[in-house]
Each structure stands twice: as C-alpha cells, then as structure tokens.
Amino acid sequence: MEEKFALNEVELMKYQPNRYPFLLIDRVTEVIPGKSAKGYKNLTNNEWFVPVHFPGNPNMPGCLQIEAMAQMLTVAILSTAGMEGKVVHSYKHNGTFHKEVRPGDRLDMESEILSFKRGLCTGRVKGYIDGELACELETVVIIPDVFNQYKPTKKDK
C-alpha cells in the first residue's frame, strides 16, 4: 500500500521552494510520493495580482495558473525519497485554459508524474473549479542536481 499524507501551509515549505508572494498553493490534501499530489489555491480579492489583472474584471493570469499547477507537480516530485530540498526548474509547459479563475474561486489541482528518469520529469496537472475543468498543464521539469550527475553510457547513444 502506498504512503499517503497531507500537508498544511507550514509543512508544504519542506517540498515547495517558493515563498510568498509566489507560493500559489494554500494546502496539499494528498501526496503519494513520486506519483501524485492534490491540493488547492483559494483566490481572494487580496491577491497581489487582482488590482492589475484586470481592473473591473479580476481573474488569475494564465501564467500564474501554470505556475500554481507546476508547483503542485513539484510537491509530487520532491516528496520522493532523496529529493527533498532539490532545486527544480520548469523546462517546457503546454497549458490549456477552459474558464476564468476569479476571486472567490477555489482552484483544486490534481498532479501526476508520468515519467521520471535521470532528473527529467514529465507530468500532467488539471485544475478544477467546483468540479469543472478550468485549466490543464502538461510539463517537463528538470532537477539539475540529478540531471547533471547522469553519465551517458554507450547504450544511451
């Protein structure tokens, strides 16, 4: 049976290097280390981006939706044994947006690792508002410490 656990806002800091104002996760409700992470971001009128995006019609910018989803995937990656504290860089994103994310919404995110080899991780994250798909992300993430330790063999060439 797989170990599952949840993280509050303080425990989250162990697996997510971002800090306010760029930490875009409020709570992680379930982590299966090295496989998946689920959690959410509560959007309020107090978010730093609301006054400028867009006055009179506030919503969460698409780039910040991508960042929030990438952060949730990072929790799944860094919860893997031996990965805690590693630096993670996003390499490639393919995001799709289905509806606006507005103040008052709770963006529920579900991430899953699709593959993880030699410091390269591919993953998928879906964001929901009230059970309806709002945004999704397919991404490639690199963990430089692990990637740089890899020495190609003849079999890899």
- Cα–Cα distance between 128 and 98 in angstroms, integer? 10
Banded model confidence at residue 89, pLDDT cuts 50, 70, 90: confident
CB 9 within 8 A of CB 27: yes
More confident residue, 13 or 151: 13
Average pLDDT, the chain: 92
User: Which of the residue ranges 26-30, 140-144, 152-156 would you say has the lowest mean pLDDT?
Assistant: 152-156
Please name the residue that has the structure tokens 């997510």.
Answer: 16
| pLDDT for 42 beyond 60 | yes
Average pLDDT on 24-29 reads 97
Can you give the pLDDT at residue 96? 98
In the chain, the percentage of residues whose pLDDT exceeds 70 is 95
* Number of Cα atoms under 13 Å in the Cβ half of residue 20: 6
107 DSSP β-pair partners? 41
More confident residue, 150 or 27: 27
Average pLDDT on 115-131 reads 95
Q: For 5-156, which CATH superfamily applies? A: Hotdog Thioesterase (3.10.129.10)
Give the residue numbers marked as catalytic: 53
Domain boundaries of the chain, sorted by first residue? 5-156
Can you give the pLDDT at residue 60? 97
CB 144 within 8 A of CB 89: yes
CB-based contacts of 146, cutoff 8 Å, min separation 6: 83, 86, 118, 119
What is the side-by-side strand order in the sheet with 106-117?
5-7, 27-32, 36-42, 106-117, 120-129, 132-142, 89-97
Banded model confidence at residue 87, pLDDT cuts 50, 70, 90: confident
